[in-house]
């Protein structure tokens, strides 16, 4: 049997998990409009293309360290292994570009569907009059 404080810890953990869940990023792909998603994908593709051309990617969290010698060692190792992983930067950029094209086509399809809905609604009104 657990200690009396164990149930309080479980309750506190559940409360904290629930708060963290609801405090999460509200700009997920499902909450964005097609236009916002297209812009986000365009920005992502641009960032991937920039990282592909740069020596060390911007804002790479794994290359940072409080200690200068650790940071330098990480950068040297990254540069040594860069030719092996360089292809994936290009592929991620290509994937982001293709996703952007898909989202643009989705936006066009949504606009066409909306137009067709209005046409159908107009036809129904005309039929009701007759």
Q: Is the pTM of this model over 0.85?
A: no
Split into its structural domains, the chain has a count of 1
Q: How confident is the model at residue 86 (pLDDT cuts 50, 70, 90)?
A: low
Q: What is the mean pLDDT of residues 71-85?
A: 80
The mean of the pLDDT values for the chain is: 77
Domain containing residue 55: 4-129
Q: How confident is the model at residue 4 (pLDDT cuts 50, 70, 90)?
A: low
pLDDT at position 54 over 80:
no
Rounded distance, CA 118 to CA 105, Å? Answer: 20
Contacts of 50 (CB under 8 A, 6+ apart): 58
Closest C-alpha among 15, 115, 121 to residue 7: 15
What is the per-residue pLDDT for 87? 64
Pull the structure tokens for residue 14.
């559940």
Q: CA 73 from chain center: how many Å?
A: 30
């Amino acid at each position: 049997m657990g200690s009396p404080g164990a149930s309080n810890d479980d309750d506190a953990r559940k409360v904290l998990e629930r708060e963290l869940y609801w405090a999460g990023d509200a700009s997920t792909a499902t909450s964005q409009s097609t236009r916002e998603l297209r812009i986000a994908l365009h920005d992502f593709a641009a960032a991937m293309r920039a990282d592909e051309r740069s020596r060390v990617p911007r804002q790479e969290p794994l290359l940072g360290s409080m200690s200068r010698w650790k940071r330098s060692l990480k950068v040297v190792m990254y540069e040594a292994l860069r030719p092996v992983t360089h292809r994936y930067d290009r592929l991620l950029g290509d994937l982001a570009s293709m996703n952007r094209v898909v989202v643009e086509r989705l936006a066009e399809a949504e606009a066409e569907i909306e137009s067709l809905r209005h046409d159908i609604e107009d036809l129904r009104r005309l039929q009701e009059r007759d």
